[in-house]
Structure 1
Amino acid sequence: MATNIESDIDRPQAREIVARVAKMQPWLREHQAVAEQQRRIPQDTVERLDAAGVFGLTRPKRYGGADFTTREVHDVFRTLGAGCGATAWMVWAAAGGNMWSLAFPDDVVAPVYESPWVGNRTFAVGGTSRRMSGTARQVDGGWMVKGVWPFATGSVHASHGFLAVFHDESDDAKVGMVLVPKDSLVARDDWDAMGMAATGSQTVATDGELFVPDERFSTPERLAARIAELTEQGRGPRRGGLVRSLVTSTGVALGMADQAMEVFLGGVGKRSVPYSPYANQIDAPIAHLTVGRAHTRIRAAALVADAAVAELDRRDAEGLDLSEREAVQFHTDVAYIWDACASAVETLFRASGASAIAKRQPLQLIVRNCRAGSLHSALNIDTWTENVGRALCGVESGPQSMSVLERRS
């Protein structure tokens, strides 16, 4: 089947998408609370994001998706995060599935991405452990798959899923990925979290066993071989893999911090400080200290992100891969950025008084979303500062990913 390959002229430009998303920020902010209540991105918002070209980030280049630099992707996420952090997280997570499209034959994958659809077409989950993945047994013509896949971010909005399956009862290294239509799965309406509630990260499961034909089953080895082949031809994906994805996620954290600062400064001149000599918060020195402390944390985090983004783009342009030690450092930088942003937002929240706890106030939602993101195992500051410390001391650190699929590919 021929694929629909667009020219570079037709391809959406990052600066245009950033500009469109910036215009959408009032809408995104107005609908943050609605999104949280619905525990998914509202369909109206999905349609607006689609029209703005945002979901080009979640579609492979060869099927008309965006092929942006790390800087460009980061800037889109930062602008999106300044409107709604949960929306930005969902788009970021959905974009991570692009890599797995390379592991399947073009005539299998092309219809998934070329068929009419509004939103992200795919989501990807699994591989962390048997408890969080499925199993597969080989039969004539394919595989019988069954399992439960929690935290399927973006699955609410997608038509297909990439799902990890273990296909050997005695060997945890024998893991693959299957591509299945979402309507062949059971969606469990069980995502009800204190933060990032709007991401639609529900559990998906099979109803008994599900037959998956051979052409819709793949492995990390096939993925690696295909990436190597395309890279040699000059048509491969941008370098960086998981590290690049994580570095672009810092745009989500910084965007939420940007919004929090804007919200706080918008009220500091109107807010009173009961039981104090200051009739207005803007007259209180502690308010200036609070703003300065939060600003410094956000600025420092942004400078670390900028350095990481620039280095990854340099290496991509020069065809250079990261060493394992360098990858640990980048991973730690990402965790630092998320923690610094969450801490800055919490500083502003604490200084906002009891009125900030009202659900109608946006700051409390930003606080919960940003801290929830920072607690993800791939972004946890304690885990990654320990790992980089171990590396510095010459002691073996933990794996770059808990996912068998990510490690093997």
Structure 2
Amino acid sequence: MTTSSQTDTDWPKAQEIVDHVLELRPWLRVQQAAAERQRRIPQESIDRLDAAGVFGLTTPKRFGGADFTTRELHDIFRALGSGCGATAWMVWAAAGGNLWSFAFDEDAVAPVYEAPWVGNRTFAVGGTSRRMAGTARQVDGGWMIEGAWPFATGSVHASHGYLAVFYDETDDTKTGMALVPKGALVARDDWDAMGMAATGSQTMATDGELFVPEGHFSTPKRLTERLAELTARGEGPRRGGLARSLVTGAGVALGMADHAMEVFLGAVEKRSIPYSPYVKQVDAPIAHLTVGRAHTQVRAAAAVADAAVAQLDRLDAEETDPSDRDTLQLHTDVAYIWDACSSAVETLFRASGASAIAKRQPLQLIARNCRAGSLHAAHGIDTWTENIGRALCGVEAHASTGVLERTS
């Protein structure tokens, strides 16, 4: 078995992690209902996932993390999504937060990864608006931060958090990230959602002002400079930034759609259609249309994902960052994938009859989780199709962004 303290030489191959995840899939599926009730991933699942190596997917290599391609990460998240969508989402969100670990000085980051820990080391709250972030004021030796950060996915299991802050009362470009031990924060047990309930996305807050040393504070500008330095030395993350994170995370949506199709087809020969001549649903032409429609939606979404994955891996091999237009299109592709998958899952759910609404039936939970994921701001189909439409029409867009996307 492998552990989260692995070094660069003994990290398992991506396919080995996929195989481990597929072995865990029956367990993850059984645990889905318990995870939703607990509003967090059960600790035994965390232990098993940690042993499989999934919490080091994007950890900096100098702290023993992996160095997987976009394709490899996407395939791992799709495998996880086919087991439990909420678990996959939490692992993916925590993996995205690790990018901030490249922005901070070694002395600040080393304790995060070198201390014994099982599970995800960090969580991150990106701050697309002041409502989703805290405030900061500079003092001798560091910063005083204050605020509450909602939807802190993975914070239940993490040891540290990256918290977005605004350090100017009027200028929304003045943003930064503070690295804070979770023990210094107050956890509000306020996450009770209709979907993705098991992700532990609680609000984390300060109790008054909290001092953060200078070395534990960074800005998008510093992140960009730090990444350039590390990349020049061959020690940085693969290229693509947040767009790459979103594309890999689209595998979560596809995995949930895979699971939904498996559940539906597993029952289609057993289920009848009341008030119809069909003793078995499999004999009804409408069932064939339903399966064909859902299958085609998922297949189209997968094709879009494959193209986005291939583009990012090609650009990485060419040592080229995605252009602004590339990034916009990739965002839109991800929104399409989530929308198509959630639509396909709901099509299968609606065709499953009233018995499917029982909490013991997995399809209702898959449908709720997938729809919840599609409603995330980064996945909003209407927002991103409008944004790409504006670009195509030559109309300048002034879209709000998270801290990771601000470079100055």
1:216-257 CA-to-partner distances (Å, cap 9, x unmatched) read: 111112111111111222322111101101100110000000
State TM-score, norm by structure 1.
0.96
Q: How does 1:238-249 map to 2 (within 5 A)?
A: 238-249=238-249
State TM-score, norm by structure 2.
0.97
1:292-321 CA-to-partner distances (Å, cap 9, x unmatched) read: 111111111111111110111011001122
Taking the aligned partners of 2:7 and 2:53, their CA distance within structure 1 comes to 16
Change (3 A) 1:11 1:24: same
1:46-69 CA-to-partner distances (Å, cap 9, x unmatched) read: 000001111112522221111100
* 3-state DSSP of counterpart to 1:31: helix
User: Counterpart of 1:197?
Assistant: 197
User: In the alignment, residue 200 of structure 1 is paired with which amino acid?
Assistant: G
Of 125-134 and 200-209, more deviation after overlay is shown by: 125-134
User: Counterpart of 1:56?
Assistant: 56
Taking the aligned partners of 1:165 and 1:330, their CA distance within structure 2 comes to 27
User: Counterpart of 1:125?
Assistant: 125
User: In the alignment, residue 406 of structure 2 is paired with which amino acid?
Assistant: R
Change (3 A) 1:178 1:8: closer
**CA deviation after TM superposition for structure 1 residue 392, in Å:** 0.8
User: In the alignment, residue 408 of structure 1 is paired with which amino acid?
Assistant: T
- Aligned residues of 1:126 and 1:149 also touching (Cα < 8 A): no
Taking the aligned partners of 1:300 and 1:5, their CA distance within structure 2 comes to 38
* 3-state DSSP of counterpart to 1:313: helix
Q: How does 1:333-344 map to 2 (within 5 A)?
A: 333-344=333-344
User: Counterpart of 2:386?
Assistant: 386
User: Counterpart of 1:366?
Assistant: 366
**CA deviation after TM superposition for structure 1 residue 349, in Å:** 0.5
Task: For structure 2, list consecutive stretches of 5 or more residues without a partner in the other structure.
Answer: none
- Aligned residues of 1:125 and 1:162 also touching (Cα < 8 A): yes
User: In the alignment, residue 244 of structure 1 is paired with which amino acid?
Assistant: R
**CA deviation after TM superposition for structure 1 residue 329, in Å:** 1.1
Change (3 A) 1:160 1:286: same
Taking the aligned partners of 1:39 and 1:271, their CA distance within structure 2 comes to 31
* 3-state DSSP of counterpart to 2:272: coil
User: Counterpart of 1:94?
Assistant: 94
- Aligned residues of 2:220 and 2:403 also touching (Cα < 8 A): no
| Corresponding position: 1:294 with 2:294 | yes
Taking the aligned partners of 2:5 and 2:237, their CA distance within structure 1 comes to 15
1:265-313 CA-to-partner distances (Å, cap 9, x unmatched) read: 0000100111000111111111111111111111111111111101110
User: In the alignment, residue 134 of structure 2 is paired with which amino acid?
Assistant: G
- Aligned residues of 1:78 and 1:252 also touching (Cα < 8 A): yes
* 3-state DSSP of counterpart to 1:144: strand
Q: How does 1:200-211 map to 2 (within 5 A)?
A: 200-211=200-211
| Corresponding position: 1:135 with 2:135 | yes
1:6-50 CA-to-partner distances (Å, cap 9, x unmatched) read: 764312210000000000000000010110111111111000000
User: Counterpart of 1:224?
Assistant: 224
* 3-state DSSP of counterpart to 1:145: strand
Taking the aligned partners of 2:367 and 2:295, their CA distance within structure 1 comes to 15
Taking the aligned partners of 2:255 and 2:307, their CA distance within structure 1 comes to 17
- Aligned residues of 1:152 and 1:203 also touching (Cα < 8 A): yes
User: In the alignment, residue 228 of structure 1 is paired with which amino acid?
Assistant: A
Change (3 A) 1:9 1:58: closer
**CA deviation after TM superposition for structure 1 residue 165, in Å:** 1.3
* 3-state DSSP of counterpart to 1:296: helix
Query: Aligned residues: percent identity?
Result: 77
Q: How does 1:296-311 map to 2 (within 5 A)?
A: 296-311=296-311
Taking the aligned partners of 1:405 and 1:319, their CA distance within structure 2 comes to 20
Aligned residue pair count: 405
- Aligned residues of 2:60 and 2:237 also touching (Cα < 8 A): no
1:371-401 CA-to-partner distances (Å, cap 9, x unmatched) read: 11001111011111111111111111343x5
Taking the aligned partners of 1:92 and 1:303, their CA distance within structure 2 comes to 21
- Aligned residues of 2:60 and 2:236 also touching (Cα < 8 A): no
- Aligned residues of 1:136 and 1:143 also touching (Cα < 8 A): yes
* 3-state DSSP of counterpart to 1:155: coil
- Aligned residues of 1:388 and 1:397 also touching (Cα < 8 A): no
Superposition RMSD on alpha carbons, in Å? 1.5
